[in-house]
Amino acid sequence: MHQPAPKKVVFVGGGHAHLYSLRHMARLIQEGARVSVIGPERYHYYSGMGPGMLSRIYTPEEVRVDIPALIEPKGATFVKGRVTGIDPDRKSLNLDTGETIDYDLVSFNVGSHVPSDLIDGAEKEAYPVKPIEHLESLREEILSLMKKSSPKVLIIGAGPAGVEIAGNIWRLVNKNNGTAQITLAGAEDRMLPRFPEKAGLLAYDSLTRRGIIILNGCMITAMGDKKARTAKGEEIAYDIAVLTIGIQPRQIFEGSGLRKARNGSLLVNEFLQSVSHPEIFGGGDCITFDPKPLDMVGVYAVKQGPILFHNIISSLAGKELKAFRPQKNYLLIFNLGDGTGIFVRGSFAVSARSAFILKYIIDRRFISQFKVSPD
């Protein structure tokens, strides 16, 4: 009897929304799928622990997942490269390596990037906080400059990433017996503008108490020659600059013919399935949830993981798909770098050592699920 050809299932990216599928890859293989995972590097760094890696609360090995080690023993293939083109009619993906990979089902979880082009000169002058691996280079430069002087460090953007990076640079400097002038500049009139006002005040108190300079209502418009220029015509000198001005979806779907949201992300239905091409799925920052746009936070991506896995397997078997039901209020904890954290849920915000301990436990427990051996 003629055996049907195995279905080709491709995961593009090894981010939060795909990790559940990668962990349970053996089930997909058992269903008769031939599975490939495409990624630019073998390691996926967990962004929730990135600022702590910068200050060495965690080592790089503790915050990353070795994708090939996780999937290849189960029978899947890791392909190193970036997808540069998508042809949904031919069901094929073009890679920057020149390779073409065909699929029957494909899922995208390629994350987001910091839009350096929003500030003239920032691309050459500043470290974007994403990808997380950049934080290792930032750490090395800070430590190198500290051997010679007291460097001026400018963090641009006073959202969660800016607050965590500022606090953990302080920790890095302090733990290495150095000094630095740390400045956090935000365009809004308060810190953590998308969160309860109390959260911003707690962050302000924590950072200023440690000597970190906070510049609210300070919009940086251009950078060059180690000087940042503001909309008011002022200049801020720096030795190192870090860009934490928010994130945007990667423009991987440009020119593909797939239905997209205004920001260029893949438009998906309640099943995390492309609204125009049912054999295409996606999760995390690179999608827009058509029933109701969601915040770009890791909480949603993690919760999407089991749903994506179920729906990919169900699609292979022709079974009913499961809807993703996003929670209304989600918990966030910001690592302030001094052993405390800010706990935020809905309109509630509190700062405490117990908040950081809770974050530490949650993050370690999450990443441990995907560890196969010391890397």
What's the pLDDT score for residue 3?
Answer: 60
**Domains detected in the chain:** 7-40+81-113+248-317 (3.50.50.60), 116-246 (3.50.50.60)
**In a 10 Å sphere around its CB, with 0-12 CB exposed, 13-18 middle and 19+ buried, how is residue 210 labelled?**
middle
What string of pLDDT tens digits covers the 375 residues of the chain?
A: 456 678 999 999 999 999 999 999 999 999 889 999 999 999 999 999 999 999 999 999 999 999 999 999 999 999 999 999 999 999 999 999 999 999 999 999 998 999 999 999 999 999 999 989 889 999 999 999 999 999 999 999 999 999 999 999 999 999 999 999 999 999 999 999 999 999 999 999 999 999 999 999 999 999 999 999 999 999 999 999 999 998 898 899 999 999 999 999 999 999 999 999 999 999 999 999 999 999 888 899 999 999 999 999 999 999 999 999 998 889 999 999 999 999 999 999 999 999 999 999 999 999 999 987 654
Q: What is the DSSP string of 21-89?
A: HHHTHHHHHHTTEEEEEEESSSEEE-GGGHHHHHTTSS-HHHHEEEHHHHHGGGT-EEEES-EEEEETT
CB atoms within 10 A of CB 284: 27
What's the pLDDT score for residue 329?
Answer: 85
* Paired sense of beta strands 33-39 and 181-185, if any: unpaired
* Paired sense of beta strands 213-215 and 227-230, if any: unpaired
362, two tokens = 């949650």
What's the pLDDT score for residue 372?
Answer: 79
Q: Which of 266, 242, 82 minimizes the C-alpha distance to 165? A: 242
CB-hemisphere CA count at 13 Å for 162? 32
What's the pLDDT score for residue 374?
Answer: 52
What's the pLDDT score for residue 196?
Answer: 96
For 41, 70, 105, the CA distances from 20, given in Å and listed in that order, are 18, 11, 17
Judged by DSSP in three states, 39 sits in: strand
Radius of gyration of the chain measured on its C-alpha atoms: 21
Q: What is the DSSP string of 260-282?
A: B-TTSPEEE-TTSBBSS-TTEEE
For 79, 126, 170, the CA distances from 280, given in Å and listed in that order, are 19, 35, 43
